[in-house]
Structure 1
Amino acid sequence: MASTASIRQRRLIRKRKRLRAQRRRQWLQSGWRLLVSMGLAAGVVWATTLPNWMVQKPQQLQIRGLRLLGREDIRELVSLSYPQSILRLSPEAIAEKIETHPLIAEANVSRELFPPAIAIWVRERQPVAVAKIPQSTTAATAASVSQSVGLLDAEGRWFPLKGIAADAVELPELTTIGFPSVYRAHWQQVYQAIAAAPFTVREIHWQNPNNIILKTEMGTVHLGPYQKQFRQQLQQLERLRRLPKQIPEAQIAYIDLRNPNEPAVQLASGASTTP
């Protein structure tokens, strides 16, 4: 009968053989993984040089969602050099470049391999008002005047009218006159109230922050400085809709709603009356 020592010796030998076999399998697996990784890396490098996976010309930038801007405006923002491997391009970097344009609210970019192209989808900001910035008479030139007219979106972002295709958009009916920095903080509330009003406001004059002036279908309205009672002032103006039937429109200089609880009508003759 085999001794206890010889049994232990045989077990130890078998264990060592198993460990050596296990280490050989691990080395083989590591070697195969390395070869596969190197093959994939080489394949990617090779693929990036294939003519069929190259961006050869600007037309391979497929741009969707434009209404105000032209495709050339976006291609200039992207500013690619051609030819370039489609796999080496960063969609995130391209999207960040596009979103630097003041008219672009959001951009999504992806690669398309068959056929090779860069798919670009953009969401433009929607203008709700034409914004005119006053110019001094001494400095006003054709160039400065064109630069002083822009557009506002519902959140108060100003962007230049220059560069927008003239036939691409119908300009908003609402016009603001003044410096956006003066009214930007109140613009969202003001625009929401005007958009919900049952009458038409054509112009908002902000040149004097102490007296906002509206040009409406009922005539000129003086509101004083912007206050939280702005909606109340518009509601009071709606109640005065029948005013022109009581007083001839030609005789009205403006409607005074600086105190909405005590509306007044300033007549062209200089007199004031309470409706």
Structure 2
Amino acid sequence: MVTVSRIDLAQRRRKLRRQRRVRIIQLIWQTFAVGSLASGLWWLAIQPMWVLKNYQDIEVEGNQLLSSEAVQLQTGLVYPRSLWRIQPSAITKSLKHQPIIADAVVSRRLFPPGLVIQIQEKVPVAIAFDNDPNTSLNPTEAKKIKKGLLDADGTWIPIDKYITMNPNAKMPTLKVIGSPQQYASFWSSFYRAVSQSQVLITEIDYQDSSNLILKTELGLVHLGAPTPRLEEQIKILAKMRHLPNKVNPNKMEYIDLKNPDSPLVQMNQKIPKKNLNSQK
């Protein structure tokens, strides 16, 4: 029995040595294969075909206001540039900091080599005049007024940077006067109502926080201090679009919609207010 046990142990040792040799050989081949693959990929990556030669290798999608070239230049890339040395996340972050770009996604494109930039723009809907509450809009105090653009969400867009990125931009016709901080809380819903109104509104004046004034095709409209009924007031104004057929516009000073349930017309030349609900 002793002799058999020694033979069995010897066989087991030989088997274990063979298994170790096989594992070593497999490890060597795996290392060689991985190294060869990595070297091949590296060699492929440094080939000229994976290099961006100029900004035309960047495809821009989603732009309506900005030209593709304007967006391409904002990447800050210096050409030629290896596709693999470009950091899409860094370019994405840089583009999102641009005043007219609301969102951006940058990805590599393999065939043909390049970048794809998808953007969402901020669309200006109004020219904003941000002046000190104690400052009136007159030529002698014009230097105190900060001019910019607003989008539908009330985001402030520096007008100089907007023009730089979009030199041929068409400016909005709607003007807003007052501090954006004062009307930021109700701007989105209020602008939506204004833009959908059947009465043309060309100016929103909120220099006086106790009285929001509109300049419209019917004349001046006083809404009073902003309340949750702003949208309702705009709808009442739309119902008054035929007012010039009833009242001489030259004799009207302003339309009073502070109480939308009882709209009034303030007449000039010391003519008293007319209650429109009482007219037949």
The question of whether the paired residues in 2 share the 8 Å contact of 1:253 and 1:266 is answered with yes
Q: Offset of 1:24 from its aligned partner?
A: 2.4
2:13 aligned with 1:16: yes
Q: Which residue of 2 aligns with 1:216?
A: 216
Q: Offset of 1:266 from its aligned partner?
A: 0.9
2:261 aligned with 1:261: yes
Indicate which of 97, 104, 109 corresponds to 2:106. 109
Distance change >3 Å, CA 29–CA 116, structure 1 → 2: same
The question of whether the paired residues in 2 share the 8 Å contact of 1:177 and 1:206 is answered with yes
Identical-residue share of aligned pairs (%): 34
Q: Offset of 1:252 from its aligned partner?
A: 0.7
Q: Which residue of 2 aligns with 1:237?
A: 237
Q: Which residue of 2 aligns with 1:99?
A: 96
Structure 2 runs not aligned, ≥5 long: 132-136
2:179 aligned with 1:179: yes
Q: Offset of 1:139 from its aligned partner?
A: 5.9
Equivalents in 2 of 1:137, 1:232: separation in Å?
A: 35
Equivalents in 2 of 1:96, 1:259: separation in Å?
A: 47
Equivalents in 2 of 1:15, 1:191: separation in Å?
A: 86
Q: Offset of 1:248 from its aligned partner?
A: 0.8
Equivalents in 2 of 1:219, 1:61: separation in Å?
A: 50
2:64 aligned with 1:67: yes
Q: Which amino acid aligns with 1:200?
A: L
Equivalents in 2 of 1:15, 1:138: separation in Å?
A: 103
Q: Which residue of 1 aligns with 2:194?
A: 194
Q: Which residue of 1 aligns with 2:153?
A: 155
Q: Which amino acid aligns with 1:201?
A: I
Equivalents in 1 of 2:235, 2:40: separation in Å?
A: 70
Distance change >3 Å, CA 86–CA 166, structure 1 → 2: closer
Q: Offset of 1:10 from its aligned partner?
A: 4.5
Equivalents in 2 of 1:262, 1:114: separation in Å?
A: 67
SS state at 1:213 partner = strand
Equivalents in 2 of 1:172, 1:137: separation in Å?
A: 22
Q: Offset of 1:212 from its aligned partner?
A: 0.7
2:59 aligned with 1:58: no
CA RMSD of aligned residues (A): 2.6
Q: Which amino acid aligns with 2:266?
A: Q
The question of whether the paired residues in 1 share the 8 Å contact of 2:199 and 2:237 is answered with no
2:166 aligned with 1:165: yes
Equivalents in 2 of 1:56, 1:253: separation in Å?
A: 64
Distance change >3 Å, CA 164–CA 204, structure 1 → 2: farther
Distance change >3 Å, CA 11–CA 174, structure 1 → 2: farther
Distance change >3 Å, CA 77–CA 166, structure 1 → 2: closer
Q: Which residue of 1 aligns with 2:134?
A: none
Indicate which of 32, 43, 47 corresponds to 2:44. 47
Equivalents in 2 of 1:67, 1:251: separation in Å?
A: 44
SS state at 1:78 partner = coil
Q: Which amino acid aligns with 1:264?
A: L
Q: Which TM-score applies when normalising by structure 1?
A: 0.84
Structure 1 runs not aligned, ≥5 long: none
SS state at 1:259 partner = coil
Cα offsets for 1:169-216 (capped at 9, x unmatched): 544343222222221121112112223433332221122222111122
Q: Which TM-score applies when normalising by structure 2?
A: 0.82
Q: Offset of 1:166 from its aligned partner?
A: 4.8
The question of whether the paired residues in 1 share the 8 Å contact of 2:70 and 2:165 is answered with no
Q: Offset of 1:220 from its aligned partner?
A: 1.2
Q: Offset of 1:28 from its aligned partner?
A: 2.3
Q: Which residue of 2 aligns with 1:228?
A: 228
SS state at 1:207 partner = strand
Q: Which residue of 2 aligns with 1:272?
A: 273
Q: Which residue of 2 aligns with 1:89?
A: 86
The question of whether the paired residues in 1 share the 8 Å contact of 2:130 and 2:147 is answered with yes
Q: Offset of 1:103 from its aligned partner?
A: 0.9
